[in-house]
Amino acid sequence: MSPGALTNALTIDVEDYFQVSACAPYSARDTWEQRECRGERNVDRILALLDARATRATFFTLGWIAERYPQMVQRIVAGGHELASHGYGHERASDLDEAAFFADIDRSRKLLEDLSGQQVKGYRAPSFSIGQNNLWAFDCLARAGYRYSSSIYPIQHDHYGMPDAPRFAHEVRAGLLEVPVTTAHFSGRNWPASGGGYFRLFPYALSRWLLARVNREDQQSAIFYFHPWEIDAGQPRVAGVNAKSRFRHYVNLHRMEDKIRRLLSDFSWGRMDEIFLVPQATRK
Residue 32 CB neighbours (<10 A): 16
Contact status, residue 134 vs residue 121, Cβ threshold 8 Å: no
Residue 2 CB neighbours (<10 A): 10
To the nearest whole angstrom, how small is the minimum distance from the Cβ of residue 62 to Zn ion?
7
Contact status, residue 152 vs residue 131, Cβ threshold 8 Å: yes
- Which residue from 6, 9, 13, 264 is in contact with Zn ion, where contact means CB under 5 A? 13
Q: Which stretch binds Zn ion (CB under 5 A): 30-38, 126-134, 159-167, 258-266?
A: 126-134
Query: Reduced to 3 states, what is the DSSP secondary structure of residue 181?
Result: coil
Q: According to CB under 5 A, which residues from 70 to 89 bind Zn ion?
A: none
Output 138 or 229, the one with its CB closest to Zn ion.
229
To the nearest whole angstrom, how small is the minimum distance from the Cβ of residue 126 to Zn ion?
4
Distance CA(85)–CA(274), nearest Å, equals 16
Q: Which stretch binds Zn ion (CB under 5 A): 12-20, 114-122, 152-160, 179-187?
A: 12-20
The three-point CA angle 152-111-78 to 5° equals: 90
To the nearest whole angstrom, how small is the minimum distance from the Cβ of residue 160 to Zn ion?
11
Q: Which stretch binds Zn ion (CB under 5 A): 7-15, 145-153, 193-201, 203-211?
A: 7-15
Distances (CA, A) of 30 to 70, 153, 274: 21, 30, 38
To the nearest whole angstrom, how small is the minimum distance from the Cβ of residue 281 to Zn ion?
33
Q: Is 16 in the site for Zn ion (CB under 5 A)?
A: no
Contacts of 28 (CB under 8 A, 6+ apart): none
To the nearest whole angstrom, how small is the minimum distance from the Cβ of residue 38 to Zn ion?
15
- Which residue from 126, 154, 161, 228 is in contact with Zn ion, where contact means CB under 5 A? 126
Distance CA(273)–CA(278), nearest Å, equals 8
Output 93 or 144, the one with its CB closest to Zn ion.
93
Q: Which residue ranges make up the site for Zn ion (CB under 5 A)?
A: 13, 15, 126
